[in-house]
C-alpha cells in the first residue's frame, strides 16, 4: 500500500507499508545491548517492548500496548505525510526510491528528544528532523510505575518521480 502525494506538479509515493511494518519492530532496531544506560543527558534508552506501558500519541486509546503502538505509528505516519516537505527531494535533484531513517525518543515528560536522521541527502535529513521534532507531546511510557523515556527508530520510505 502506498499513498500518492501531488505537490507543485511533482508526484511522490509514500510507502506506508514499509513505514508501518518496520515501525512494529522499530523500537529494537539498532539498539545497543545496554539499553538501560543513561546517555550524557540522562535519557534512559528503553525500547517499547521493555516498558510496561508504551508512550501514547494524543488521541490514541487501547486496552493494550499493541493497540497503543499501532495507533501511534499510524498517527506518526500521517503526521509525516502531512508535514514533510517532499518538494525538497526533487529540488535537491533526488529521483526514485528514497529512505530516511529517523531516531528519536519520547522522554519521561512526553516530549520528543534526541532526534537524528540518516539519509542520502542532508537536506532531507534536516527536513525529517524538523518534522519529528514538531510532533505533539505524548503521554510518556512507564516501567515499574515510573515514567521513562522510550527510544524509537522510524524509517520513512518514499519515491520521487
Predicted confidence (pLDDT) per residue in 91-127, tens digit: 999 999 999 999 999 999 999 999 999 999 999 999 9
Instruction: With a cut of 80, say whether residue 37 has pLDDT above it.
Output: no
19-31 average pLDDT score:
38
Band (22; pLDDT cuts 50, 70, 90): very low
Residue 14 has a pLDDT of 53
The number of angstroms, rounded, from the C-alpha of 69 to the middle of its chain's C-alpha atoms is 12
In the predicted structure, residue 23 carries a pLDDT above the cut 80: no
Mean per-residue pLDDT over the chain, rounded:
80
Q: Is the pLDDT of residue 148 over 60?
A: yes
Of 32-41, 65-74, 139-148, the least confident? 32-41
Q: Looking at residues 20-48, what average pLDDT do you find? A: 49
What is the residue-wise DSSP string for the chain? --EEEEETTEEEEE-HHHHHHHHHTTTTTT--S-TTS--TT----B-GGGSSB--B-TT---SSHHHHHHHHHHHHHHHHHHHS-THHHHHTT--EEEEEEEEEEE-TTS-EEEEEEEESSHHHHHHHHHHHHTSPP-BPEEETTEEE-EEEEEEEEEEE-
Q: How much is the pLDDT for 109?
A: 95
* Residue 41 pLDDT level (bands cut at 50, 70, 90): low
How sure is the predictor about 1, in pLDDT bands with cuts at 50, 70 and 90?
A: very low
Number of other residues whose CB lies within 10 A of the CB of residue 1? 8
The residue among 1 and 7 whose pLDDT is bigger is 7
| Domain extent listing, the chain | 3-160
pLDDT band at 83 (very low <50, low <70, confident <90, very high): very high
pLDDT at 104: 95
Amino acid at each position: 500500500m502506498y499513498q500518492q502525494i501531488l505537490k507543485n506538479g511533482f508526484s511522490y509515493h509514500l510507502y506506508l507499508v514499509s513505514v508501518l511494518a518496520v515501525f512494529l519492530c522499530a523500537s529494537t532496531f539498532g539498539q545497543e545491548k545496554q539499553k538501560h544506560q543513561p546517555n550524557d543527558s540522562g535519557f534512559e534508552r528503553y525500547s517499547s517492548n521493555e516498558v510496561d506501558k508504551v508512550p501514547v500519541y494524543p488521541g490514541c486509546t487501547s486496552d493494550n500496548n499493541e493497540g497503543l503502538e499501532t495507533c501511534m505509528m499510524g498517527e506518526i505516519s500521517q503526521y509525516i505525510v502531512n508535514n514533510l516537505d517532499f518538494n525538497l527531494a526533487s529540488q535537491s535533484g533526488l529521483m526514485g526510491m528514497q529512505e530516511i531513517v529517523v531516531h528519536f525518543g519520547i522522554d519521561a515528560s512526553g516530549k520528543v528528544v534526541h532526534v537524528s536522521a540518516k539519509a542520502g541527502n542532508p537536506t532531507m535529513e534536516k527536513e525529517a528532523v524538523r518534522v519529528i521534532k514538531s510532533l505533539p507531546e505524548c503521554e510518556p511510557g512507564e516501567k515499574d510505575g515510573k515514567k521513562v523515556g522510550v527510544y524509537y527508530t522510524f524509517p520513512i520510505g518514499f519515491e520521487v518521480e
